[in-house]
Amino acid sequence: MNAVKTQKKVGIDLYKGVIDDSLFDEVVALAKKLKDVRVCHVNATSYGGGVAEILQKEIPLARGMGLHFDWKTVSAKDEFFDVTKKIHNGLQGADLKISEKEWDIYQSCNIDQVRRINPNDYDVFFIHDPQPAEIVSCIGKNGAKWVWRCHIDTAEPNQAIADYFLKFLNMYDAAIFTMKEYVFKGMEEDIFIIEPAIDPLAIKNRHLSHREAANLVRGFHIDVTKPLVTQVSRFDPWKDPMGVVDAYKIAKKEIPELQLAMVGSMADDDPEGMEIYEELKEYAGDDKDIYVLTNHDALHDIEVNAFQAFSDVIVQKSIREGFGLTVSEALWKETPVIGGNVGGIPTQIRDGETGFLVNNVEECAEKIEYLVQNKDAAKQMGRKGKEDVREKFLLPRLLRDELRLIEKILG
């Protein structure tokens, strides 16, 4: 298990005027009350994907408020992440089997992490997602409070895989899900529903002028005089990247100058990403108006920001989605979003008001056409979307909800 270094501290005062005063006051009061509590977050990787992105910002904010928050990641070989990717897909409903050998690899790695962590160093552990979930069974609770945080869509899990996890999930003192529909049947501990959040102060979410965004997007050879549709996500079959290409091709028949950018990053714990990336490039064919870009193309947070801010439309056409931080990121930039009508996406999009929820490729294409051809309506949707994000999906609200949970389980 590896300790993660982050920016040391971020002052809560920086959020004044961005969040409501009542939220500001509550999170400050909770931090004062819990300043002596030692908290450790554990997840699979320090880079790539929503969990790492949240913790990169939450830990410095917590420390800036005087809280004792640490962050550790799993140390494992590639074979472990091959297995946990299958587990991840299975918990989202994929029809697959985990062999006895694969379960042994999974358990052995969790046992191995125990040698690198001392439960006596912390009062509360937040264990994120399936990868390190069995640690509690391997190490024992040892007087600490344990919280399992599930970020994925487990509304219809592969039951055989869910049953394996239920053997030790009930050892936890509490569990957090993004939606009540995701709670495993048979879970007995306290259940908390807490939605993820974005950091408005992050480079990815800071304000860019139209000119700044255009200049950054132009650097990837995109014609900034023509309409642009973008999806920002991992290269993952659950994000339906081929479906996005299909929707674009339909819309392009009505809007010949339309361009599509598929923007993603390769995560350390996702061995499937490169395979999907290569398949997507092949699927796009020789269409010169489709751009498939990754962090290997010098695409970093500021460039992702530019694509989200400059695009006429952001698409998140997932067929399973725990939450989808990219939806709130785009709405924060006042860009309307077309999202798959699944998982946590409908909690962020008010259909027809801040964007559209779609159920298939044809609906997605129709809404792309509408938003590109009705710019005033698109701008109005984007403005409403930003206010929704300000109210519900900014980082201090997430920290407040977790502090409330800590206060409750510590009595």
| Domain spanning 210-392, CATH class | alpha beta
Q: Topology of domain 2-197+394-409, per CATH?
A: Rossmann fold (3.40.50)
**Mind listing the pLDDT tens digit for each residue in 61-95?**
999 999 999 999 988 888 998 999 999 999 999 99
Domain extent listing, the chain: 2-197+394-409, 210-392
Check if the beta carbon of residue 388 is closer than 8 Å to that of residue 331. yes
pLDDT digits (tens, 9 = 90+) for 22-46: 999 999 999 999 999 999 999 988 8
Mean per-residue pLDDT, 221-232: 97
Q: What is the pLDDT of residue 328?
A: 97
- Tell me: pLDDT of 295 over 60: yes
Please determine whether the domains at 2-197+394-409 and 210-392 fall in the same fold group of CATH. Answer: yes
| pLDDT for the residue 3 | 78
Instruction: Summarize pLDDT for 387-405 with one digit per residue, the tens.
Output: 999 999 999 999 999 999 9
Distance CA 392, CA 382 (A): 15
Global pTM value: 0.91
| pLDDT given at position 245 | 98
Q: How far is CA 250 from the centre of its chain?
A: 29
